[in-house]
Amino acid sequence: MTSVAHTYFLLGDYSKTLDCYGQKVGYYLDCAALTALGENKTALARLRKRDRMVGAVGPIQALIRSLRAYIEGDFQECLKAIEIGESLTRSDPEILYYMARHLARINEQERAITTLSRAINGGFLCATAVSRDPWFASLRPSPHFVELMRNAELQRCKVHAAFLEAGGEQLISVM
pLDDT at 2 over 50: no
We report the CATH number of the domain holding residue 24 as: 1.25.40
Is pLDDT above 80 for 32? yes
How many structural domains are present in the chain? 1
The whole-angstrom distance between residue 163's C-alpha and the CA centroid of its chain comes to 24
Q: Grade residue 54 by pLDDT with cuts at 50, 70 and 90.
A: low
The pLDDT tens digits of the residues spanning 146-170 come to 999 999 999 999 998 999 999 888 8
Q: What is the pTM of this model?
A: 0.88
CB 108 within 8 A of CB 70: no
CA distance 28 to 65: 9
* Domain with 124 in it: 4-174
| Whether pLDDT at 23 is above 70 | no
User: What's CA 52's distance to the chain center, in Å?
Assistant: 22
Round the average pLDDT of the chain to a whole number and report it. 89
Q: What is the pLDDT of residue 142?
A: 95
Q: Are 43 and 35 a contacting pair, CB within 8 Å?
A: yes
